[in-house]
């Protein structure tokens, strides 16, 4: 497993930083990784290692305003700017592995984005994996926070607040929670433009799920207190084509960081193998 640094420029001049993990042998496919709100791709080397062992390269860029990428923390000028940045990531994957099938893999906010992208842009990929996609919050945020976000959405889109993410809800493995809390590249900021965009696009995705055009694997933990597992069920039930839904009994939000992560990742890899062969 070889890890290398990746950088790319956005249309509006930001530098995005990321990582590429290349398997030692033949590359049977490439997985483009989109991380969640407030985190970064540097939290996924164990996921990449398992994919590498199965012959898949992994490449991911920290979203604008996240990790080592430039931009105000937790801010995007509009939601579609993320789609522009995802096109850059896909371009990087194609330039490095021109003959390899591509799979989009996203977690939480990233899960929302990998569902949204192929419904708005032409996506020449073999399939999509949405891990705990943020389609609807699993908790009710304070009314004042939502009201403030909507008021600021156009007036002051960069206005940001703490996300209020419950760190203990990430995983039942307390080492994961402690590492998250101590990670200097993790942040808890969410801007009005991003927070309201995420809520509204999540509902749009649920309303338009019957239009999803690609093979899809979607999964949640049944005890996810951050992203609604019921919303994942609702989305999957409306997808007309090749769709696999898996609800992991008793698991929290980061199923790839739970004590059962080997089973979760093994299930995902079998699905990816079946859709890239």
Residue 14 per-residue DSSP state: P
CB within 8 A of 240, min separation 6: which ones? 210, 212
| Identified catalytic residue from 40, 62, 85, 108 | 108
Q: Distances in Å between the alpha carbon of 146 and those of 41, 132, 199?
A: 28, 22, 10
- The catalytically annotated residue of 35, 131, 224, 228 is 224
Give ∠ CA 161-166-169 in degrees, rounded to 5: 155
Q: Specify the residue for token string 């069920």.
A: 233
Q: 35, 40, 66, 253: which is the annotated catalytic residue?
A: 253
Active-site residue, 256 included: no
Clarify whether 132 is annotated catalytic. Answer: no
- For 66-99, the DSSP string reads STTS-SSTT--SSTHHHHHHHHHHHHHHHHH-TT
253 noted as active-site residue:
yes
Could you tell me which residues come within 8 angstroms of residue 143 by beta carbon, excluding any fewer than 6 positions away? none
How far, in Å, CA of 153 to CA of 230, rounded? 27
Active site residues per annotation = 108, 224, 253
């Amino acid at each position: 497993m070889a890890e290398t640094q990746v950088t790319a420029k956005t249309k509006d001049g930001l530098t995005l930083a990321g990582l590429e993990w290349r398997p030692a042998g033949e590359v049977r496919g490439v997985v483009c990784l989109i991380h969640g709100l407030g985190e970064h791709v540097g939290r996924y080397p164990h996921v990449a290692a398992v994919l590498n062992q199965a012959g898949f390269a992994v490449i991911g860029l920290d979203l604008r305003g996240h990790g080592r990428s430039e931009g105000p923390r937790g801010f995007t000028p509009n939601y579609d700017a993320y789609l522009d940045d995802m096109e850059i990531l896909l371009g990087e994957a194609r330039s490095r592995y021109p003959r390899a099938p591509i799979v989009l893999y996203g977690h939480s906010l990233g899960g929302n984005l990998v569902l949204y992208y192929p419904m708005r842009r032409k996506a020449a990929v073999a399939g999509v994996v949405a891990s705990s996609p943020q389609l609807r919050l699993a908790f009710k945020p304070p009314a004042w926070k939502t009201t403030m976000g909507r008021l600021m959405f156009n007036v002051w889109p960069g206005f940001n607040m703490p996300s209020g993410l419950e760190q203990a809800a990430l995983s039942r493995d307390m080492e994961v929670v402690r590492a998250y809390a101590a990670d200097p590249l993790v942040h808890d900021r969410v801007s009005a433009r991003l927070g309201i965009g995420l809520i509204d696009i999540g509902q749009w995705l649920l309303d338009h799920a019957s239009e999803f055009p690609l093979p899809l694997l979607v999964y949640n933990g049944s005890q996810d207190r951050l992203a609604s597992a019921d919303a994942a069920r609702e989305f999957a039930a409306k997808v007309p084509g090749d769709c696999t839904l898996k609800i992991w009994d008793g698991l929290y939000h980061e199923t790839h960081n739970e004590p059962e992560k080997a089973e979760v990742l093994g299930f995902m890899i079998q699905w990816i193998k079946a859709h890239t062969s």
